[in-house]
Amino acid sequence: MPDTAMRADARWRPQEQLSLPPLVRDWLADPGSLTARLRLYGAFRVVPREDRIMRPTLAEQQLLGRIGRGRALVREVTLLVDEQPMVEARSVLPLASLRGPNRGLAHMGSRSLGSELYRRPMARRDRVWVRHGAAPSGQTPCWGRQSRFIKRGRPLLVAEHFLPALWRRVEEMDR
């Protein structure tokens, strides 16, 4: 199973620095919408867990650059397929990135952030980091991907943790 292919390591590393199992690489390196891909496996739903204004972690601030030093909207959700948790996600949207035409990103509720990131003008994913460690809920170990997107010239971070149920679903359906 892909989840146990590597010893847990909580550090985010550039994707190209890790040797990933083929199935994991296929999902973590996919430049397209995770929402669209998950919809191929069943009924998709977003369950918000937390939305709050706070300072990003030091690591998140570094990844966001100068704009990340201020406060941000931090959104944590679980992505379900057929009512089963498949991905836990944490988005860090600097308040400075939510001005003007991007302000709609601050009011996603139970809508997928990916549906907005891939709407015109599409966001550009400019960096990807991966790790094999704990998901926000504490499920360990699992593969994670953190992406920095630029939407209308403003950065935001999206960290996605791929839960063991996803790999089981993919293996069952792709047989």
Buried b (16+ CB within 10 A) or exposed e, 120-138: eeebeeeebbbbbbbbbee
If residue 145 lies in a helix (H) or strand (E), which one and from where to where? Answer: strand 142-151
Every domain of the chain and the residues it spans = 43-173
Strand arrangement, sheet containing 142-151 = 9-14, 124-133, 142-151, 154-162, 84-94, 72-81, 44-54
Nearest to 155 by CA among 80, 88, 105, 84: 105
How many other CB atoms are found less than 10 A from the CB of residue 65? Answer: 11
User: What's the pLDDT tens digit per position in 106-144?
Assistant: 989 899 998 888 888 889 999 999 998 888 788 778 999
3 pLDDT higher than 80: no
Q: Which residue(s) pair with 48 in the sheet?
A: 77
CATH architecture of 43-173: 3-Layer(aba) Sandwich (3.40)
Tell me how crowded residue 102 is: count the other CB atoms within 10 A of its CB: 18
Better-scored residue on pLDDT, 120 or 54: 54
Short-list 84, 112, 45, 48, CA closest to 173 = 84
pTM: 0.90
pLDDT digits (tens, 9 = 90+) for 152-172: 999 999 999 999 999 999 998
